[in-house]
């Protein structure tokens, strides 16, 4: 993007602080100088577009990446015509990878029109050696590649690109580092995700996450609380505590603290009105957590509790470390301790060796627990995971048929459950104007269902009492009450 002077570049690197986050702040400033120079030359401020694929953890990373790019002088845009496009990738299922390859083709044609365009890739896919090799050989127009462990380094890597290096490739195999206090752009002013831990140690046999996100690391509670206090001061009402397995939070800290204890401390932060968290592994969900949820004023009446399969035999093959009976017992204890709680889940069909009987066990759990909603997935073979090497892979048409039957059952139950709160008065956090009718606003209930009711933009970000007047299958209509 700019002429570069090798001597100056060396000086900049020699002067950069060794400690974080100071080093990255320094590189943000150095990038900004180059970006501003470029803006003067071309008459427009260079634009940057971050595209996120995948889960809530990735969405949070994307906000950090956007924050860094903004500090580096770029103007944010939604259009992939931008001067810099960064894909934050996901690799949990193969479909996610295929989508990225498809879209890279489109970016390449744009780059032919605008050779100065910078194309950058980061996130989970980049932690796979085969992916990086493929990009290096077949997608040579990519300028910048980094992984999940050094997201915080974007400014430094970008500086290397802006001063002539190409491609810039820096992928770490793992880290025990948690870099605090970097900028982030928040998508919503009234709610925010907060990382409490990174990585996963569970090694479910189908899952690639432990390989691409590394070992479990918890943030210090003081850092988490300081961030939440700052968010509250900034007007945030609802926080979502994020981790691949929040129930094992704190085990690796010098002064261990349980997830339930962390929640109790978050509950004390003034200004925060609602607390959510994601994701819970059933095997680590403690009685202590159930009790904290039961007495909390702020923890939302919703729990995402991935089942994956209802068959104890398949669960063992999946290395989930609970049985069907243990899961059912846990779900029942939670439903009893927290009346009205909405349970949601993730289910995989077509795991290697899954028989019709195993699948019936899954349907049985779905009918007994009665989930508010469920994410249902076709098993996807991920290279390098133990399940990929298992025999008895289920034929795709069999898996597809099970998926359809499962979805029908999930939807039938979810529809029945949606009506049960009709007539009640509940608090809703107003998230925006209704997409279809500008005379309505859309709010989220504690149990994660949506409600649409008459209102205007002044309500956005407010927690308001709403009477639920009518159930519409998966959401409610309502009216605001004072």
Residues that bind ligand 5AD (CB under 6 A): 92-93, 206-207, 306, 308, 346, 348, 377, 379-380, 382
Q: Is 281 in the site for ligand SF4 (CB under 6 A)?
A: yes
The number of C-alpha atoms within 13 Å of 365 and in the hemisphere containing its C-beta is 29
CB of 62 to ligand 5AD, least distance (A): 17
| Residue 93 or 302 having the CB closest to ligand 5AD | 93
CB of 4 or CB of 375, closer to ligand SF4? 375
- Please identify, using beta-carbon distances, which residue of 34 and 209 lies nearer to ligand 5AD: 209
For the chain, how many residues are written? 482
- Structure-block tokens of residue 346: 């993730």
Report the site for ligand SF4 in 238-267 (rule: CB under 6 A): 244-245
Contact 428, 468 (CB under 8 A): no
Token output for 116? 């100065």
Which residue(s) pair with 112 in the sheet?
A: none
- Minimum gap (Å) between residue 239 Cβ and ligand 5AD: 21
CA angle, 77 then 79 then 84, to 5°:
70
d(CA 260, CA 249): 9
CB of 346 to ligand SF4, least distance (A): 8
Smallest gap from residue 376 Cβ to ligand 5AD (A): 9
Q: Is 196 in the site for ligand SF4 (CB under 6 A)?
A: no
Residues binding ligand SF4: number (CB under 6 A): 10
Whether a cis peptide bond, with omega within 30° of 0, leads into 461 is no
Q: Whole-number minimum distance, CB 92 to ligand SF4, in Å? A: 8
CB of 306 to ligand 5AD, least distance (A): 4
Among 183, 210, 455, 478, binds ligand SF4 (CB under 6 A): 210
Cβ-based neighbour number of residue 20 at 10 Å: 17
Give the separation between CA 122 and CA 78, rounded to whole angstroms.
Answer: 18
Closer residue to ligand SF4 in complex, CB, 48/406: 406
Query: 3-state DSSP call for residue 302?
Result: strand
With CA atoms as reference, report the closest residue to 359 among 329, 400, 412, 328.
400
Question: Which one of ligand SF4, ligand 5AD, none is in contact with 380 (Cβ closer than 5 to 8 A by kind)?
Answer: ligand 5AD
Q: Enumerate the β-bridge partners of residue 195.
A: 242
CB of 307 to ligand 5AD, least distance (A): 9
Please report whether residue 207 would count as binding ligand SF4 according to CB under 6 A: yes
200 binds ligand SF4 (CB under 6 A): yes
Shortest CA distance to 71 belongs to which of 155, 180, 160? 155
**Residues within the interface to ligand SF4 (CB under 6 A):** 200, 202-204, 207, 209-210, 244-245, 281
């Amino acid at each position: 993007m700019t002429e570069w002077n090798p001597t100056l570049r060396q000086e900049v690197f020699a002067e950069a602080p060794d400690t974080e986050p100071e080093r990255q702040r320094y590189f943000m400033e150095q990038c900004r100088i180059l970006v501003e120079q470029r803006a003067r030359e071309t008459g427009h401020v260079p634009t940057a577009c971050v595209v996120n694929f995948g889960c809530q953890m990735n969405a949070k990373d994307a906000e950090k990446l956007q924050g860094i790019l903004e500090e580096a002088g770029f103007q944010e845009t939604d259009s992939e015509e931008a001067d810099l496009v960064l894909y934050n990738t996901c690799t949990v299922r193969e479909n996610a990878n295929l989508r990225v390859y498809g879209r890279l083709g489109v970016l390449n044609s744009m780059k032919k029109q605008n050779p100065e365009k910078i194309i950058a890739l980061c996130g989970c896919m980049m932690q796979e050696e085969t992916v990086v090799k493929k990009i290096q050989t077949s997608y040579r127009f990519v300028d910048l590649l980094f992984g999940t462990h050094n997201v915080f380094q974007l400014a430094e890597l970008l500086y290397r690109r802006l001063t002539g290096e190409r491609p810039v490739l820096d992928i770490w195999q793992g880290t025990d580092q948690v870099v605090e206090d970097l900028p982030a752009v928040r998508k919503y002013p009234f709610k925010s995700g907060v990382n409490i831990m990174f990585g996963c140690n569970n090694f479910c046999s189908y899952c690639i996450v432990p390989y691409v996100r590394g070992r479990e690391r918890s943030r210090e509670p003081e850092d988490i609380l300081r961030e939440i206090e700052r968010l509250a001061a900034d007007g945030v009402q609802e926080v979502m505590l994020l981790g691949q397995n929040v129930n094992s939070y704190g085990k690796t800290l010098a002064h261990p603290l349980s997830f339930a204890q962390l929640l109790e401390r978050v509950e004390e932060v003034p200004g925060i009105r609602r607390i959510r968290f994601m994701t819970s592994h059933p095997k680590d969900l403690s009685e202590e957590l159930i009790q904290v949820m039961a007495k909390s004023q702020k923890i939302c009446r919703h729990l995402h509790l991935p089942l994956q399969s209802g068959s104890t035999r398949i669960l063992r093959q999946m290395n989930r470390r609970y049985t069907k009976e243990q899961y059912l017992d846990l779900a029942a204890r939670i439903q009893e301790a927290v009346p009205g709680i909405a349970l949601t889940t993730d289910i995989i069909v077509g795991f290697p060796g899954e028989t019709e009987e195993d699948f019936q066990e899954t349907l049985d759990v779905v009918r007994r627990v009665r989930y508010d909603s469920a994410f249902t997935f076709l098993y996807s073979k991920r290279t390098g995971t133990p399940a990929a090497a298992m025999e008895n892979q289920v034929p795709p048409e069999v898996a597809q048929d099970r998926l359809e039957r499962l979805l029908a059952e999930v939807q039938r139950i979810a529809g029945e459950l949606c009506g049960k709160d009709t007539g009640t008065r509940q608090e809703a956090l107003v998230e925006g104007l209704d997409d279809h009718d500008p005379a309505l606003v859309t709010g989220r209930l504690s149990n994660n269902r949506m409600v649409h009711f008459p209102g205007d933009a002044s309500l956005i970000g407010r927690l308001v009492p709403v009477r639920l007047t009518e159930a519409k299958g998966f959401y409610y209509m309502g009216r605001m009450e004072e």
